[in-house]
Amino acid sequence: MAETKGAMMLLERIGMRVPVVQAPMAGVTTPALAAAVANAGGLGSLGVAAMDAARAGQEVRATRALTSARFNVNVFCHRPPRRDAAKEKAWLDSLAPDFARFGAAPPEMLSDGYRPFADDPEMLAMLLAERPGVVSFHFGLPAPEQLAALRDSGAVLLGSATNIADALAIEAAGLDGIVAQGWQAGGHRGVTDENAPDARLETLPLLSALKDIGLPLIAAGGIMSRTDVQAALDAGAVAAQCGTAFLVADEAGTSAPHRAALTAGRTRMTRAISGRPARGVENLISSRGDSAAPDYPLPYSALKALHGVASKAGEYGYGPFWAGTECARARSGTAAEILSRLAP
């Protein structure tokens, strides 16, 4: 009873009438999408990992202009990459034939374009000033003093876990809930240590493994329908987080090639795109070997350049098209319509 009460208190605190979270997908989530989900009773989210604080603040304010409800802002808590000149050169050399297909050459060096939240005081200051209501963390947790400041601002704090160790760390840090990310989920695995052994637990077994942690669980991975949401709730989750289902929302920033690629329904977990394990549609880039990929987020800089030149030639096989295993089940519509199809 205490666990159920705590779970319900979390939903009430956020103001959710529908136990569905629209996943924060960097590069795809928009103010219109997050606000539409929030206004329809779910929890809308922005993924700001690829933005600086100024741009992220603009997105937060644009979302606030469209809704009075709480919404989630997700930040990445990865460690800075370990630079290895020889490894990085070898990676660029391996991409040279792909660039040559389009009359281009790879960049001379890889660049680090994603600033970790722990090293971004401007992003923290923006969140404290704008107060979106919910802040979530991927790839681990920020410093205790950052958590304390956000908690004092009234924010609900959520952390992503794919295993018991990371879930226990979230509990010990005093967060309000855990996003239990199953193996089927699209996008980046929310592991703190990407080189640690991965049990690859699917969503329902992961919920079972984490049910005694003591925090409300939000299930993520392979959830595309009302039946899927209900199964997650029956397994002990307080809500379901859905990303792939919202990729085809009218308000999403998903490109036309990305939307089209979902219909094939084939996905793959790979480090080849960013340097960290992440699930996307099976294509030319996700199907290549990734054991030699440099640290996250270094490979991104070359991949984005390659996707740019290839796209101009009509080749979209190098797109970082994140998607979960059930992507072929995605059905288009407005965000509110998709949420209504998910609501139990």
Query: Omega before 299 cis (within 30°)?
Result: no
Q: In what order do the strands lie in the sheet with 278-281?
A: 187-188, 278-281, 267-270
Name the amino acid, one letter, at 14. Answer: I
Name the amino acid, one letter, at 338. Answer: I
pLDDT digits (tens, 9 = 90+) for 41-52: 999 999 999 999
Q: In what order do the strands lie in the sheet with 177-181?
A: 20-22, 239-242, 217-220, 177-181, 156-161, 133-138, 71-76, 45-47
Q: Which two tokens stand for residue 31?
A: 């103010």
In this predicted structure, what is the pLDDT of residue 2? 42
Phi-psi region of 187 (alpha: psi -120 to 50; beta: other; left: phi over 0): left
Domain residue limits, the chain = 2-78+114-248+330-342, 83-113+266-322
Q: Which two tokens stand for residue 8?
A: 């319900």
Burial of 6 (0-12, 13-18, 19+ CB in 10 A): middle
Q: What is the mean pLDDT of the chain?
A: 96
Q: How far is CA 64 from CA 56, 72, 120, 139, 235, in A?
A: 12, 11, 22, 26, 33
Contact call for residues 189 and 278 (beta carbons, < 8 A): yes
Q: If you count them, how many residues does the chain have? A: 344
Q: What is the CATH number of domain 2-78+114-248+330-342?
A: 3.20.20.70
Beta strand 278-281 pairing with 187-188: antiparallel
In this predicted structure, what is the pLDDT of residue 113? 84
| Coil, strand or helix at 322 | strand
Contact call for residues 11 and 176 (beta carbons, < 8 A): no
pLDDT digits (tens, 9 = 90+) for 110-141: 999 899 999 999 999 999 999 999 999 999 99
A 10 A CB-CB count for 280 gives 26
In this predicted structure, what is the pLDDT of residue 1? 38
Contact call for residues 298 and 112 (beta carbons, < 8 A): yes
Q: In which residue ranges of the chain is pLDDT below 70?
A: 1-8
Dist CA 27 CA 326 (whole Å): 20
In this predicted structure, what is the pLDDT of residue 7? 66
